[in-house]
Structure 1
Amino acid sequence: MRTFFLLLCALSLYGSSFSEIKEMIRNNPELRSLKNLAEAKNEEAVLSGKLENPSLKIFANDINLQQPFSRDIEAMQSQGIILTQKIPTAGKLDYLKNADISLKEAKEYEYELLLKRLFLEADIVTFKISAIEKKLLLLKEYNRLIDYTSRLLEQYSQSLGTPHTAIIKAEILKSNIDTQTIKLQNLKKRYLEKLSSITASKISSIEREMKIYEIKNRDFYEKKLLSHPGLKIIKKLMQAKKERINYYKAQKTPDIGVSAGYFNRENRDDYISVSLSFKLPIYGREDLKTSISMKELSSLEKIYENEKLKLRFGLRSAFIKAEDSLKRYKIVDEIIQRDLSHQMDIVIQNLAANTAMAENAVEVIEKTLKFELEKVDILYEFNSAMSEISYYSGDEL
């Protein structure tokens, strides 16, 4: 009978696997929005490396109001075109382009971070649904067992006059099992709806295994913290800010404005003109912009350190939860295997032949069910904690 229980608890519903759910998550609207923004940032980086469009000026000067269409009245009358182009100096275009490339990469890491968060959320939800399924299987089997016990107790009460106390206990236990079953069924529906919301797809059932395994040393996970996309985002923002600082410093070297014009005159020689223009960095604007950006960079460095602390705390908290649940699982499993399993086997084997055993059966069934359900809860806690560890350490979920 015990083996039968374990087999029942190990069963999973055939449904969407977690690998399929991960693919569905990529359809999440927020994820698609971030992906589009990353693509836009990539085009911005391309745009930053291009020269500004030249300006073209077409003119006709010294128009005589008495003879507006006569263009040979005086030597100053001319018409023509002027082409002007701004030419950046000191590598400014490269600085702007590199800054936008870093911002684009930061946006890509934002996508990766959100994807990992959604994977973690879905991971924990699927473990929760799996735990509910295991509990429902347990409750269903123990409900059958308590029904069988109740019928025997009714028979003993009618034929031998045994006390009704055991019958009342059996009815209370059955009522509790029925109540728990209804609550778990409704809870399962809620978690399936939540999973459907995360994946932007309808999920009616899932197939997810929960298991217990030994945990590696905490240092093994902490060494991977720096690969977390949350930190990579800040690193890329820092790189972009450094490129901006270089750009503002380069602005002390003025860009060159080149203008070339062609002038036409009626009955006179045509001529051309060439001019150069510069913005003079005399008011200290570039130094102020550099100073502001350096303060912003310093702020980002502090944010980076703070984010590392938050990730380390999250990892260590998850590690403590995993260690705690692993220890508790072993204790509860040992109680079930060593004590309650033996008692249950005796109860099941002697239930129909022993009046006293039938009266004691309700207590044994209730106690065993309690530990079996607790074991499932601990199994869920362990697997969800390990998912959190994978999230914080940057491992794939």
Structure 2
Amino acid sequence: MLKQSLTLILLSSLLTSSIYAKEVKQVVNEAINTNSSLQALEQSILLAKEQIDLAGKWQNPILNFGANDIQFDDISKRDLEPMQAQFIGLNQMIPIGDKKELEEEIARDDYELSKLVLADKKLELESKIYEYIYNIKLVEERVALFSKLKQNIAELQKLLEEFYKYNKASQIDILKVQTLYDELDISEQKLNNNLRVFKLQLEQLTYTKFKDIDISTELEKLTLVNNIDSHPKILQIEKNIEKFNTTSKFEEEKKNSDINFGVKYFQRDSKYEDYINISVAIPLSIYGSEDIKARKAKFKANEYKNLLQDSKLKFTNQIKILQDNIDNAFYSYKKLNESIIPKYNQIQKTLESYNRFSSLKQIDSKQLIRNLNELIKYKLKAIDEKQKYFTSLSNSIYFTKVNK
């Protein structure tokens, strides 16, 4: 019975872990599918697509009807003079030139722009999710480190208390170690608070609570790909250049005014013949407003051209900065973890061993505590370098791809 209960508990534990432990890509995909801001952008894409169809449509015709020469003394008399008639008419605005084609092209540009905006926001969200997840993992590493250090300090305190019995350590030494323990305890409490904040921020981004997320925090040599031409932000700027150049052509084309064509059928008394009126109204482009609007659109296109060069330079430089940060953090972490920290670990073991078996009246507690502080400092520095590494890696997700 006990064996069956233990089996059920183990299966339940594994099932719970499989439910709550998720891979980052799964978290990102779920966040993209549920994020309300992204859903709003998807609706704007559908709206822009409808605008393409709308841009190609002519204006609806106008139906009009009425009666001429109504007599005030008797409105029913419709045979007093030839001009008395009832009419029905139709007016239609007929587009001239390439305006409709250009309007459709502008609408297609807006449609493509809306898709690029969505792609850009998805990259921003993915980058931010990775940043928060790495922050959570590294805070957890710091908490685990502080917990282990507190255990080491507690053992050191026991050692000093044992030495104190034989007058080889002082009460001051013990108090200093207790103070160091309390300082670590305060720092650990602050880290736990930071951990809760990061988890809440991640929940706000993903709309989901996570017990655990499967992601490695092992450092490896990475190379960022400097390929910015396909980035949604760069493509947005290029598409805006196209759009405003087309808008300039569209404004120029407006000088070829659309024609307002009208036809009316007039029905008169039987002793007169019915007749039809045909009219054509053409707005005159004589004040130059179309030229001004065309120039404004051209200026806007040139503004985006300048922005394109500036953005490409910023992206290229940012990728270089991120690469340098990753390389420096990787080198520093490796140096700390493989060279400096092992030396201080060895020094600490040597000091403890020396003092434990020393025949001196007093042990060198100051050196013990000083070395322990140095060891703590360098272990925290190692995690700081990991923080720099993974923060830069998270930011790089927005800018470019990574080669491992």
TM value normalised by structure 1: 0.86
After the TM superposition, which residues 128-143 of structure 1 pair with which residues of structure 2 at under 5 Å, given as runs?
Answer: 128-143=135-150
Alignment map for 1:173-322 (pairs within 5 Å): 173-203=180-210, 205-216=212-223, 221-222=225-226, 224-267=227-270, 268-322=272-326
- Correspondence for 1:340: 344
Q: Alignment partner of 1:226: what SS?
A: coil
Q: Is the 8 A contact 1:351 1:358 kept in 2?
A: no
CA distance in 1, matches of 2:222, 2:147: 33
Q: CA distance change for structure 1 residues 54 and 395 in 2, over 3 Å: closer, same or farther? A: farther
Q: Pick from 309, 324, 349: which aligns with 2:328?
A: 324
Quote the offset at 1:16 in angstroms: 4.7
Paired position in structure 1 for 2:385: 378
Give the residue type in structure 1 aligned to 2:400. S
2:25 is aligned with 1:19: yes
- In the superposition, relative to structure 1, how do residues 394 and 266 fare at CA in structure 2: closer, same or farther (>3 Å)? farther
Offset at residue 337 of structure 1 (A): 6.0
When structure 1 is superposed on structure 2, of 35-44 and 320-329 the one drifting more is 35-44
Unaligned runs of 5+ in 1: 1-13
Looking at structure 2, the residues matched to 393 and 132 of structure 1 have their Cα atoms a distance apart, in angstroms, of: 26
Counterpart in the other structure of 2:51: 44
State the Cα deviation string for residues 192-216 of structure 1 (Å, max 9, x = none): 1222222244456544322211132
Change beyond 3 A, Cα 1:108–1:326? same
- Quote the Cα distance in structure 1 between the aligned partners of 2:83 and 2:117: 62
Closer/same/farther in 2, CA of residues 48 and 24 from structure 1, 3 Å limit: same
CA apart distance, 1:150? 1.0
Q: Summarize deviations over 1:378-397 as a string: whole Å, max 9, x none.
A: 1121111122223222679x
1:92-103 aligned at under 5 Å gives the runs 92-103=99-110
Go from structure 1 to structure 2 and tell me whether the alpha carbon gap of 1:99 and 1:56 turns closer, same or farther (over 3 Å shift): same
Q: Distance in 1 between matches of 2:354 and 2:372?
A: 12
1:357-368 superposed matches below 5 A = 359=365, 362-368=369-375
Shift of 1:24: 4.2
Q: 1:282 aligns to what SS in structure 2?
A: coil
After superposition, the C-alpha distances for 1:138-188 in whole angstroms (9 at most, x for unaligned) are 111221122122112212211354334542342232122111101100111
Amino acid at match of 1:225: I
Task: Write the distance in 2 (CA, Å) between the matches of 1:125 and 1:50.
Answer: 48
Please tell me whether the aligned partners of residues 259 and 276 of structure 1 are also in contact (alpha carbons under 8 angstroms). Answer: yes
State whether residues 221 and 327 of structure 2, in contact with CA within 8 Å, keep that contact through their aligned partners in structure 1: no
**Aligned partners of 1:246 and 1:204: how far apart in 2?**
57
Q: Deviations over 1:277-310 (max 9, x none)?
A: 2222233222222222111211121122222222
How far the C-alpha of 1:346 sits from its partner, in A, is 5.7
Say if 2:391 is the partner of 1:391.
no
Correspondence for 1:9: none
Amino acid at match of 1:295: F
**Counterpart residue type for residue 302 of structure 2:** S
SS in structure 2 opposite 1:276? Answer: strand
Structural mapping, 1:86-165, within 5 Å: 86-165=93-172
Using the alignment, how far apart are the partners of 2:81 and 2:164 within structure 1? 131
Residues 49-94 of structure 1 deviation map (CA, whole Å, 9 limit, x = unaligned): 1111111111111111222122222221111211111111212111
Please report how far the alpha carbon of residue 17 of structure 1 lies from its aligned counterpart in structure 2 after TM superposition: 3.7
Flag the 1:214–1:161 CA change in 2: closer, same or farther, 3 A.
closer
> Equivalents in 1 of 2:402, 2:118: separation in Å?
16
Q: Is the 8 A contact 2:99 2:254 kept in 1?
A: yes
Q: What letter matches 1:265 in structure 2?
A: R
- Pair 1:276–1:160, CA change in 2 (3 A): same
Q: Is the 8 A contact 2:341 2:378 kept in 1?
A: no
SS of corresponding position for 1:62: coil
State the superposition RMSD in angstroms: 2.7
* 2:75 pairs with 1:68: yes
Unaligned runs of 5+ in 2: 1-19
Q: Distance in 1 between matches of 2:266 and 2:137?
A: 83
Matched letter for residue 189 of structure 1: R
Deviations 1:195-248 (A, max 9, x none): 2222244456544322211132xxx622x1122211121122222111111212
The one-letter code of the counterpart of 2:57 is K
SS state at 1:259 partner:
strand
Shift of 1:98: 1.0
Name the % identity.
Answer: 21
Query: Which range is displaced more, 17-26 or 182-191?
Result: 17-26
Q: Mark the CA change 1:227 to 1:351 in structure 2 (over 3 Å): closer, same or farther.
A: farther
TM-score (norm 2): 0.85
**2:40 paired residue number:** 33
Task: Write the distance in 2 (CA, Å) between the matches of 1:382 and 1:312.
Answer: 19
Q: Partner amino acid for 1:302? A: N
